[in-house]
Chain A
Amino acid sequence: MAYPTKYRYTREHEWIDADGKTASVGITDHAQDSLGDIVFVELPKVGDKVEKGKVFGSVESVKAVSDLYAPASGTVTAVNEELTTAPEKINADAHAAWIMKIELSDPGDLEGLLTADAYEAYAKEETGH
């Protein structure tokens, strides 16, 4: 699956799609593929403060738990409640299945995150193929 060039990516396999001060956050296709069938998503709460590089929730597949790390600091303005009952939406289309929306504290947080090309190369290297 193609990595949208508009998004920025973390080395912990989240994507962030910023539009001015607001941004959507999800996990990458590579992450969903490594996890396998996702059965559980622990969402943050609206109003929570998230901090760049810190855990804001988790996703679980049948066989593993994976923490979610905030790609940028901010305040949670929305969470994707649909994932509570249909977590498999992440497997179906990871780059569309946003997990939370945040109001960015500092849009400069996105500097230093990976571009689509850089992330794809990083993900390939990590799996060794």
Chain B
Amino acid sequence: MPETLRKTALNPIHRLLGAKMVDFGGWDMPVEYSGLIAEHMAVRTGVGLFDVSHMGDIQFRGPGSLDAVQHISMNDASRLQAGQAQYSAMLYPQGTFVDDVIVHKFSDHDYLFVINAGTREKDYNWVRQNARQFDCHVSDYSDYYTQLAIQGPRAQATLQKLTSVDLSAIRFYWFAWGAVCGLPNTLIARTGYSGEDGFEIYIPSDAATSERVWNEVLEAGREFDIKPCGLGARNTLRLEAALSLYGHEISDTINVFEAGLDRFCRLEKGTFIGAESLKRVQAAGGPEKKLVGLEVVERGIARDGYRVLDEQGQAMGYVASGSPAPFLKKNIALAFVPVAYAEPGKEVAVEIRNCPVKARVVPLPFYRKPKRT
């Protein structure tokens, strides 16, 4: 038992709502309220509200900020305009993952990394250590923000009631500043981890403000049957959308090519931590294993860590994340397999409780949100 679990400002609200709580990377977080499937469906068809205040926020300020960000993260932040965000990752020199991040450009001298909860301390130490040589100041603002994710096709209609900012003008992976629930200069980003349209807002982390905004969002979304959603639905939503989760699809032993995230890695932008190793992997003909999508064809649910078998029944890979997909109504998995199998249509098997169960490699993502109309 950990001595003390960390709590977000909304912890009493989650308990009041009757959420089931779990220890998630040292945080006491809601796993589900009304039920995982109902919450998942709310996000796919209506709107859901998540407390994601356990995520971390690291800000870079000063004239050397861009150089530091470029050195520490794999995507090309020089392509960002003020008000734009990008998916990226921090790498170790061997080309494996410290963590994945969303980089927000506030101005030429001001960038924000939003990072994972379980890796906050590690990430912050990594950033401090590696930003030292640049003319910028690094601050950890993780505890200063309550971060709420409002996700789903009705997210915009819900949040629009609480702000004068024209949300329809914010494009996907862009952000704006404005009053939300009367709080001035609130960061409103069209980002998320659900594979659906949605927003993430960053508000002061005192309990009174956090609870007030949480309740106002629920009230605003009432006509769309908004549901508070826990980490259970967050996981199945991101899995349907094939979004990586640290410790599963990405880790300090998995490199960028293996994780299939090379489209977010700009080797041509110049030197950065991890680039040399990745160039060597590329020159050697690419990775030996790759992340693929699996659909279980026979009856059975593939779970994290299960072995993937070849035609002879020999173990050749493993499931990184596996679960029933509530919206797709299939049993799906993200798995690492040798490149020879990393092709849609390949037949494999997943060893489920000592039995080989047929599965097929399918294109990713499993789920793609409909185009906005």
Q: List chain A positions with a Cβ less than 8 A from chain B.
A: 36-37, 39-40, 42, 58, 60-63, 65
Given contacts A36-B36, A36-B232, A37-B36, contact A62 B303 (CB under 8 A): no
Residue from A36, A60, A61, A63 with most neighbouring chain B CB atoms (10 Å): A63
Q: Which residues of B contact A60 (CB under 8 A)?
A: 301, 324
CB distance from B194 to the nearest CB of A (A): 15
A-B CB contact pairs (8 Å), 23 listed: A36-B20, A36-B31, A36-B32, A36-B35, A36-B36, A37-B35, A37-B36, A37-B326, A39-B301, A39-B324, A40-B299, A40-B324, A42-B353, A58-B353, A60-B301, A62-B37, A62-B232, A62-B236, A62-B326, A63-B323, A65-B301, A65-B303, A65-B353
A65 closest partner in B (C-beta)? B303
B236 closest partner in A (C-beta)? A62
A55 to B299, CA, bound (A): 19
Q: Which residues of A contact B236 (CB under 8 A)?
A: 62
Q: List chain B positions with a Cβ less than 8 A from chain A.
A: 20, 31-32, 35-37, 232, 235-236, 299-301, 303, 323-324, 326, 353
A37 to B323, CA, bound (A): 12
A127 closest partner in B (C-beta)? B20
A82 to B149, CA, bound (A): 38
CB distance from A36 to the nearest CB of B (A): 5
Q: Would you list the 7 A-B pairs with minimal beta carbon distance, nearest first? A: A37-B37, A39-B324, A62-B36, A37-B36, A62-B324, A36-B36, A63-B232
Q: Which residues of A contact B324 (CB under 8 A)?
A: 39-40, 60, 62
Q: Which residues of B contact A65 (CB under 8 A)?
A: 301, 303, 353
Q: Which residues of A contact B37 (CB under 8 A)?
A: 37, 62
CB distance from A39 to the nearest CB of B (A): 5
A60 to B300, CA, bound (A): 10
Given contacts A39-B301, A40-B301, contact A62 B353 (CB under 8 A): no
Residue from B20, B37, B235, B236 with most neighbouring chain A CB atoms (10 Å): B37
CB distance from B37 to the nearest CB of A (A): 5
CB distance from B302 to the nearest CB of A (A): 11
Q: Which residues of B contact A36 (CB under 8 A)?
A: 20, 31-32, 35-36, 232
A37 to B299, CA, bound (A): 18
A36 to B303, CA, bound (A): 16
Q: Which residues of A contact B35 (CB under 8 A)?
A: 36-37
CB distance from A85 to the nearest CB of B (A): 11
| Known A37-B326, A60-B301, A62-B36; 7 more pairs at CB < 8 Å | A36-B20, A36-B232, A39-B301, A40-B300, A63-B36, A63-B323, A65-B303
A61 to B232, CA, bound (A): 11
A37 to B236, CA, bound (A): 13
Residue from B236, B301, B353 with most neighbouring chain A CB atoms (10 Å): B301
Q: Which residues of B contact A63 (CB under 8 A)?
A: 31, 36, 232, 235, 323
